[in-house]
Structure 1
Amino acid sequence: MNQRILHVLEFKKIIEQLNEQAASSLGKEKTAALKPSSDLEEVRHLQMETDEAGQVLRLKGHVPLGGIFDIKPSLKRTTIGGTLSALECLDVASTIYGGRQLKRFIEDMEEPEMPILRDMVSTIAPLRELESEIRNCIDEHGGVMDGASEKLRSIRSKIRTYESRVRDKMESFTKSKSKMLSDAIVTIRNERYVLPVKQEYRGSIGGIVHDQSSSGATLFIEPQTVVDLNNQLQEARVQEKNEIEKILKELSDAIAENHEPLYENVNVLGHMDFMFARAKLGKQMRAAMPKMNDEGRIDMKQARHPLISGDEVVPNDIEIGKDYTSIVITGPNTGGKTVTLKLVGLCTLMAQSGLQVPALDGCEMAVFKEVYADIGDEQSIEQSLSTFSSHMTNIVDILDKVDDQSLVLFDELGAGTDPQEGAALAMSILDEVVNRKARVIATTHYPELKAYGYNRPDVINASVEFDIQTLKPTYRLLIGVPGRSNAFEISRRLGLRESVIESAKGHIGVDSQSVENMIASLEESKRGAEQDYEEAERFLAEAEELRNELKQKWDQFEEQREKLYEKAEQKAEKAIRQAREEAETIVGEIRNMKSQAQMKEHEWIEARKMFDEAQPELAKKKPKAAPAPKKESRELNPGDEVKLLTLNQQGTIVEQTGKNEYQVQVGVMKVKAKRKELEFVKAKQPYKEKPMATVKGKNFHVKTELDLRGERYEDALNRLEKYIDDALLAGYPRVSIIHGKGTGALRTAVQNFAKNHRSISSHRAGGMNEGGSGVTVLEFR
């Protein structure tokens, strides 16, 4: 972009606002050098950077950018052997700390996704050792501390001793020779302690004269008795200075050794400050990130001029590049036509610089290779050019360069010459630029251009609204409606007699009156459409609010239903657990009675199995809505198997308790349910008496070995327990348990089980022909 365009569109004022948002000289340097880019990918990357920084500001409200300095000149001096001052070293340490703080700040954020920022902070080197080395030598005020070296500590200790001795000597003079002194104080001249002695007592106090007052009445004398002490003090101060220079040289060398990561840190921190400055400006302007394209499309809703204060600016919708490529704006002076031109041009420059634009979210901006503008009075006094000539000089230059990648802004096109010729010239210039596929926005006073947009498919008319009632412009842009003359209405409002107005109307052509009436009708229709749109928006907002309220109520209902299900499940689980404990107690007591246990062991095993199978599977997750029950006309009878839809469990009809109401046995629970909640599964089976299994012998079909290989630990023990019961009932003297070798965990579990079982007399590993250590043989009592 050429400098003239940046000046005409006042881009420099945006840079000044941006510069105020930078936190460091590094960021200010980058903001001052900001220029629009014509590379689409670069612009998109800049916009993503600004958006990520804006997300951080929205979530945290701030970002730690303090304590960062431009240390690049200092780094350059250290690389050529220079020695930094204490304050320069302190700036290096402060920048290292500031970078580490910013790195930790970004890395500690869990959301949102920030790939650009996270990638940038990953390159920041912590350099803790260098920072500690500097801060151990230099205090926060830039002074080299005593602990910087043992030698410096010793030298400063001597300095304090010498100073104390000198002061003691000098104070003895102020007490004993006070009459000879102009003032009873000890002062310093040429870095040596002296006394202010009256001129007449010069000979009474021997010593070296270092200075005298302007009147000559006072001499500043160093007494001879403290000359040696002052010499020792000066010598110690020279040693101190040399030691400090040595310390600073060592620190400078250490900084030089780390100059590459320090350069990288400074560059990253400067760029991040630049990013956050752009984000802060966007937040201040209530701006949005535009979607960028290289197809010439601009679409901004409620766009505001960025240099007009928020309480004065009038938002406008601006669209170009989709259905039409050119806009011709007509309307009265001071109506806002030029502001609209500058708004589009300035927002384009901002977007191409990575800045967000003051419009609603979802806006779209184009990347142009060049932006051309002919705005304002460009009369050149030096060249004695007229207004028309000055404008035409700019337009000629524009026509030489414009192409389909250009945005062109014409203010008062063709003004400054004969209206008829100016209008014709304006239409011809517009035709030339439109034919080159450039994006054009032009303002004009010429009524002939009102029909221009109707005759060309890529051009649309627009106007700035004027309020006849208040006789003031509203600054609202009306796309699709050409501006109309308001001279008659304004004259009528100002009190001009109606007869004069009617006479004036008779002097204009019928066509002009028809056009004015058409424009007035368009304006009225547009206002009506906007009112209808606002009302529709209000209805939509109310509907959305009602939807959210209903959704909230439904969520509360779902949550309450889930709690009730959970409570019912807990109650059922408690009842089942209690019943199981009671059953286990009874089984244990009966097993202790040997004779009965031997006779009816299989009955208890079968009862326990039936008890386990009767336990319902309780839902652990939020229950889904039950499917609509199928229409079922079949009558249900006691003993029929049914599915209880509300619990998704099968049960058996116990009895009918009322009209369309049944009592259902589900596991150990009895539940009352309506007919529509029950789904028929199968009818009650007629009872068939089963022959009692022979307790002992071959009729009890149980193998003499059990294979547990591949079983999980708990499943294997459950199978083993049931198998031992079945083997005991079958009357086997011994059985083989195949568990495999593996890790030995399953073998150990089988052996521990055998030790603790009252019916197993002994156990041993299998023999060579029995499977070896992969098998355990159990002997029964």
Structure 2
Amino acid sequence: MNEKALKVLEYSKIKDEIKKYVNTQAAKEVIDSLKPYDNIYEVREHLKETQEALMLLMKKGNPPFEGLYDVREPIGRIEKGASVLTGQILKIAQMLRCARKFKDYIKRKEDEEAFPVLEDLCEGIVPLKRLEDDIFNIIISEDEISDRASEKLYNIRRSLKEKNSSVKDKVNSIIRSNSKYLQDNLYTMRGDRYVIPVKAEHKGSVPGLVHDQSSSGATLFIEPMSLVNLNNEIKELMLKEKAEIERILSELCLKLYNNIDIVKNDSSIVWELDFIFAKAKYASSINGTIPIISDNGIIDIIEGRHPLIEPKKVVSSDIYLGREFTSLVITGPNTGGKTVTLKTVGLLHLMGMSGMLIPAREKSCIAFFKEVFADIGDEQSIEQSLSTFSSHMTNIVDIMDKADHNSLVLFDELGAGTDPTEGAALAVSILETLRKRNCKIVATTHYSELKAYALKTSGVENASVEFDVETLRPTYRLLIGIPGKSNAFEISRRLGLSDEVIENSKSLISSDTLKFEDLIQSLQDKSIKAEKDARAAEVLKLEMENLKEKYEEKLYNLNKARENTLYEARREAKSIIKDAKEEADDILKNMRELEKLGYSSEARQQLEEHRKTLKEKLDKSSEGQTFVKQNKSDEIKTVKLGMELFLPSLNQKVIVLTLPDNKGELQVQAGIMKINVKLKDLANTSESTKESRKASKREVKLNLRSVATSIDLRGMDSEEAWYNVDKYLDEAYLGGLKEVSIIHGKGTGVLRKSIADMLKSHPHVKTFRLGAYGEGGNGVTVVELR
């Protein structure tokens, strides 16, 4: 990607914004080296990783980057076999801990959404938990090693503590006995040795070694001879402590050296993750979305916003090209936002091709380009003695040499800086040459000749930035398909120029030009109205889709509830039949026992007959629970499109949409659903309706048995109670119950109030009241169903 386009489109400012969210200098250097990728698969992969990081931020919060430092320098020293400072070893351990925690952070449960790109990246992390723990157990802080780092260090420090205690007692005793010779009754330290402040005139009275004197010379800091041996022992212990600490740190460095490849690999992945999550945090700050990457030059940016303009001030624009046209010519007055639109197109492409989410609506599409060329801004160069036109033309010549079908070319005020007639002709020629190469072009101009070129040339489209004549301000809204109008006369009139001067000006312009300008104004008005109507239609479309989804879900739930009810009814019927049979067998068994005790066999014979009669009735009842089946003689042989038939499995009339295929399957419409069924499963409407009514009567009776007349909520919280009551009321309503009881207990009344709030708006509830005396009082709510 050419550096000039990156500079003109302010790509570096985007990178500076991302740097605000990184934790390490290493990640900042990754950002510094970032450029648009030159492979479409890389672009898609890096966009995916940024989106996954954003989703993780929203779902799991900030990643575990606490205490992360850039430790490339100490890792490099260890790799060469050198030792490093205590604090540097501690920072390496903190990096290893971040890497290990990130592996846990990215891990997902079975039912959670997958993050394949980041999961693959984190797969390379190798946790070094034991090494990490060794470092944290030994090093407490950058300046402190734990006493338990080794047994030898522990013994040295214990001896040092005892010696220090002894020397303090000794020096305090010396101070007390020599207080008259001392400047102050206290001791101090000089070079890790205990000394006392002796007046210069009494130096002979306190035998010892002079270590220092005060600035005035009045005080000498003397180490009494009786302390020399103790101080020597303390110094020796301190040297031993230092040597042991160095040995321990060398040991840790050796462990790191033995695992240096893993340490380097983990650190590289952590820097990469730091960079990725910085992109995600920046995307969150600009409400970025992942764009679709087109490989055939199609651009369709929906409500795109320039990321460097304040969110409260920026105006979004819909920008598209690459289908019906490949060149877009934006015209209109200065300060109308043409250049901002141009930069928005270019910068959003650079961001997208660098793996950044773009500030636009979802489903926006950008194209993958090998090169983005931009000629924007004042290119006048005093050092090179180039005028504005010459400088622009030098850049344009370079673009003309390199641009091809894989290029996006952006021109700002093409042809400006020279004679308008020649400049316009040159601009048309440049655009036409690049268009024939199938370059994607967005150009701004104020030349009317380019409006006419766009109108009459296939593959070129006009566009303009809307201007509000009433307020004399641009709205910055891009209108594609409409050339810009200068509005010079209207602006001049509102600023106070006399009508006479304006009319004289109009008389100097040809009538065709004036008609053309009026046509542009008419097109603008119609376009604004059409866009407003389209937005309203889109809102209505979304509402209808939501309603459709809502009612489809309701129908699905009703059908599901019906199936569940039928299943429960059949199950309960079988249970009743089974219980009745068992009861009959028990009665017969008991009668046999009574017969043994002296009852006649006639009684037993009568009981057998009664049992047989009961069994026959129960068997008939059991047969009544099956669905209505179609006799083979009643099977439908032929159907016609639009024919109304009956589908017993849904207990519903259906309309035939297609004729049966070679498998005997056809498509029918049941309500708002279209389903495939077999021809043999359908029945004629008149016969099946009667049978379904009989079947439905049996179902109601069975439902009455299967649904309890009360539900007990005691011990539940409000949320659980709401769920259970809602489900129970659905079942009771489908079961045909008219009145049910909800037992919630008296308690504090919170559960009772929560249930009452729910019942007020429940669709199945007609009225409800608290239980009367004998019904449970305030602990029960009695509900009348519709």
Q: How does 1:219-618 map to 2 (within 5 A)?
A: 219-544=220-545, 546-547=547-548, 550=551, 572=573, 575-592=576-593, 593=595, 610=616, 611=618, 614-615=621-622
> 2:650 matched to which residue of 1?
625
Q: Which amino acid aligns with 1:100?
A: R
**RMSD of the alignment, in Å?**
3.2
Counterpart amino acid of residue 70 in structure 1: D
Please say if 1:645 is aligned against 2:705.
Answer: no
Q: Specify whether residues 447 and 564 from structure 1 end up closer, same or farther in structure 2 by C-alpha distance, changes over 3 A only.
A: same
- Name stretches of at least 5 consecutive residues in structure 2 with no aligned partner: 628-647, 654-682, 702-786
Kindly tell me: are residues 180 and 488 of structure 1, through their superposed partners in 2, closer, same or farther at Cα, counting changes over 3 Å? farther
Distance 2:197 2:695 in 1: 111
Quote how far apart the aligned CAs of 1:406 are. Answer: 0.9
In the other structure, the counterpart of 1:51 is 51
Q: Separation in 2 of the partners of 1:511 and 1:344?
A: 34
Distance 2:689 2:542 in 1: 52
CA contact (8 A) 2:45 2:117 kept: no
Output one character per residue of 1:483-518: Cα deviation in whole Å (capped at 9) or x when no partner: 111111011112222122111110111221121111
- Structure 1 residues 397 and 161 mapped into 2: Cα distance closer, same or farther (>3 Å)? same
The whole-number CA distance in structure 2 between the counterparts of 1:631 and 1:123 is 66
TM-score of the aligned structures, taking structure 2 as reference length: 0.76
State how 1:2-21 maps to structure 2 within 5 Å.
Answer: 2-21=2-21
- Does 113-122 or 149-158 show the bigger shift? 113-122
Deviating more after overlay: 94-103 vs 545-554: 545-554
- Code of the residue aligned with 1:423 in structure 2: it is A
- Aligned equivalents of 1:211, 1:524: Cα separation in 2: 94
Find the residue that maps to 2:340 and give its secondary structure. helix
Is 1:642–1:650's contact at 8 Å kept on the other side of the alignment? no
Q: Which residue of 1 aligns with 2:755?
A: none
Deviation at 1:151, TM superposition (A): 0.8
State which drifts further: 487-496 or 542-551: 542-551
Deviations 1:719-770 (A, max 9, x none): xxxxxxxxxxxxxxxxxxxxxxxxxxxxxxxxxxxxxxxxxxxxxxxxxxxx
Moved more, 350-359 or 543-552: 543-552
Q: What secondary structure does 1:645 align onto?
A: helix
Aligned match of 1:732: none
Partner of 1:29: 29
Q: Distance in 1 between matches of 2:623 and 2:202?
A: 118
* Aligned CA distance change for structure 1 residues 197 and 552 (closer, same or farther; 3 Å): farther
Query: C-alpha separation between the residues in 1 aligned to 2:689 and 2:371?
Result: 85
**CA offset at residue 525 of structure 1?**
0.9
Q: Give unpaired runs (5+ residues) of structure 1.
A: 652-781
Q: Which amino acid aligns with 2:20?
A: E
**Partners of 2:199 and 2:189 in 1: CA distance:** 16
Closer, same or farther: CA 388–127 of 1 in aligned 2, 3 Å: same
Other structure's SS at 1:465 match: strand
Provide Cα deviations, 1:394-422, integer angstroms capped at 9, x if missing partner.
11111111111111111111111111111
- The verdict on how the C-alpha distance between 1:141 and 1:604 changes in structure 2, with shifts beyond 3 A counting, is farther
Residue 102 of structure 2 is aligned to residue 102 of structure 1 = yes
Q: Deviations 1:146-185 (Å, cap 9, x if unpaired)? A: 1111111111111111211222222334444445444443
User: Structure 2: how far apart are the matches of 1:575 and 1:616?
Assistant: 13
Residue by residue, what CA displacement relative to the aligned partner does 1:452-473 show, whole Å, maximum 9, x if unpaired?
A: 1012111111111111000011
CA distance in 1, matches of 2:215, 2:443: 76
Residue 585 (structure 1) shift: 1.1
Supply the distance in 2 between the matched residues of 1:616 and 1:256 (Cα, whole angstroms). 82
Using the TM superposition, name which of 425-434 and 594-603 deviates more. Answer: 594-603
In structure 2, what is the Cα distance between the partners aligned to 1:413 and 1:336?
16
Partner amino acid, structure 1, of 2:129: R
Aligned partner letter, 1:458: G
Task: Find the residue that maps to 2:43 and give its secondary structure.
Answer: helix
Verify the 8 A CA contact 2:574 2:622 in the aligned structure 1.
Answer: no
Matched residue type, 2:392: H
Q: Given the superposition, is the C-alpha separation of residues 578 and 131 from structure 1 closer, same or farther in structure 2, using an over 3 Å criterion? A: same
Provide, for residues 246-269 of structure 1, a one-character-per-residue CA deviation record: whole Å limited to 9, x for no partner.
111111111111112222212222
Match of 1:132 in 2: 133
Q: Once the 2 structures are TM-superposed, how far is the Cα of residue 189 of structure 1 from its aligned partner? A: 2.0
Q: In the superposition, relative to structure 1, how do residues 137 and 486 fare at CA in structure 2: closer, same or farther (>3 Å)?
A: same
Distance 1:178 1:300, change over 3 A: farther
CA contact (8 A) 1:643 1:649 kept: no
What is the letter of the counterpart of residue 242 of structure 1?
A
Structure-2 change in CA distance of 1:505 and 1:140 (3 Å): same
Q: Distance in 1 between matches of 2:521 and 2:446?
A: 17
Question: What TM-score comes out, normalization by structure 1 length?
Answer: 0.77
In the alignment, the residues of structure 2 paired with residue 157 and residue 132 of structure 1 have an alpha-carbon distance, to the nearest angstrom, of 24
- In the aligned structure 2, how far is the partner of 1:618 from the partner of 1:215? 117
- In structure 1, the partner of 2:661 is none
SS at match of 1:586: helix
Matched, 1:111 2:98: no
Q: Which residue identity does 1:645 align to in structure 2?
A: A
Give the distance between the partners of 1:548 and 1:634, measured in 2 at CA: 31
SS of 1:323's partner is coil
- C-alpha change, 1:545 and 1:156, in structure 2 (3 Å) is same
Contact 2:2 2:373 in 1 (8 A): no
1:140, CA displacement in angstroms?
4.3
8 Å contact kept, 2:591–2:604: no
From the superposition, tell whether residues 182 and 346 of structure 1 become closer, same or farther in structure 2 (CA, over 3 Å): farther
- Gap change, CA 1:580 and 1:76, over 3 Å in 2: same
The amino acid of 1:506's aligned partner reads S
Contact 1:405 1:438 in 2 (8 A): yes
8 Å contact kept, 1:587–1:604: no
Equivalences for residues 648-667 of structure 1 within 5 A:
none
Distance of 2:384 and 2:39 partners within structure 1: 37
Q: CA deviation at 1:96?
A: 2.1
Counterpart CA distance in 2 for 1:11 and 1:619 is 73
Which residue of structure 2 aligns with residue 62 of structure 1? 62
In 2: Cα distance, 1:635 partner to 1:543 partner:
33
Letter in 1 for 2:203: R
State the one-letter code of the partner of 1:370: E
Are the structure 2 counterparts of residues 264 and 605 from structure 1 closer, same or farther at C-alpha, using a change threshold of 3 Å?
farther
